Amino acid sequence: MADYRLHCFAQSGNAYKVALHLQLAGIPWEPVFVDFFKAGQTRTPEWRESVSAMGEVPVLEHGGRRYTQSGAILTLLAEQTGHFAPRDADERYETLRWLLWDNHKFTSYYATLRFLLGLAKTGETPVTEFLRARAKAAFAVADAHFGRNAFVLGDRPTIADLSMAGYVFFPEETGLDWDAYPALSAWRERIRALPGWVHPYELMPGHPLPA
């Protein structure tokens, strides 16, 4: 059994953030498939009592403990392994600042929009219109930043980049035009070019979804 076991499924960008760290760092790990769609596994009382009370993935098992929330797990892995870690106090602050912004603004709106349109197949609604507007605003902030910086903290990727990369490789239609954000798109390609990069649908179990 690997030292790190990750409860995940292929369609979860938040789980992909952690899986990508482990993959790029070359750390042996074992995926534990979570049946989110067919069985609604994370919403069952049994799963919440035995795995995570928050009812979400990712959940990382290591050293006899379970860790939840992607930003916290990425911080833990950076501290434990040294991979993609901030170098000093100033970088730790900047990393935390971007992790919080990602989870509140960048991932939050874009991931929800992608879920509704690409997976739940709701079609366009006032909710998706609202989410797209917020996602565009976040994309504009990121595009401006990456127009000045190769990665979030400058010239090398950190866990802040891996956090922001969680949902940007999924193919589902969101109605956002990536060509409108050339610097953000270039950053995405730099992440894709990192040695060992693997697409989320290949890295984690559960794709394709059953018909």
Indicate if the pLDDT at residue 113 is higher than 90: yes
CA-wise closest residue to 32 among 102, 104, 22: 22
**What is the residue type of 186?**
A
Range of the domain at 112: 89-192
User: Would residue 8 count as lying in a domain?
Assistant: yes
What 128-134 contacts at long range (C-beta under 8 Å, 24+ apart), as own/partner pairs, is 128/175, 132/174, 132/175, 132/176, 134/105, 134/109
What is the domain-level CATH number for residue 130?
1.20.1050.10
Return the pLDDT at 45. Answer: 97
Return the pLDDT at 201. Answer: 98
User: Would residue 153 count as lying in a domain?
Assistant: yes
Q: Answer yes or no: do 23 and 42 share one domain.
A: yes
Q: Answer yes or no: do 93 and 187 share one domain.
A: yes
What is the domain-level CATH number for residue 71?
3.40.30.10
User: Would residue 209 count as lying in a domain?
Assistant: no
Return the pLDDT at 58. Answer: 98
Tokens coding 181: 């954000």
pTM of the shown model: 0.97
Return the pLDDT at 182. Answer: 98
Distance between CA atoms of residues 142 and 189, nearest Å: 14
Q: Answer yes or no: do 106 and 147 share one domain.
A: yes
Q: Answer yes or no: do 70 and 99 share one domain.
A: no
Q: pLDDT by residue (tens digit) across 62-110?
A: 999 999 999 999 999 999 999 999 999 999 999 999 999 999 999 999 9
Q: How many domains does the chain have?
A: 2
Q: Are 159 and 95 a contacting pair, CB within 8 Å?
A: yes
Q: pLDDT by residue (tens digit) across 193-206?
A: 999 999 999 999 99
Give the Cβ contact number of residue 174 at 10 Å. 21
Q: Answer yes or no: do 73 and 108 share one domain.
A: no
Q: Are 74 and 163 a contacting pair, CB within 8 Å?
A: yes
Return the pLDDT at 210. Answer: 87
Q: pLDDT by residue (tens digit) across 131-163?
A: 999 999 999 999 999 999 999 999 999 999 999
User: Would residue 210 count as lying in a domain?
Assistant: no
Return the pLDDT at 125. Answer: 98
Beta strands 4-8; 29-33: pairing state: parallel
Indicate if the pLDDT at residue 1 is higher than 80: no
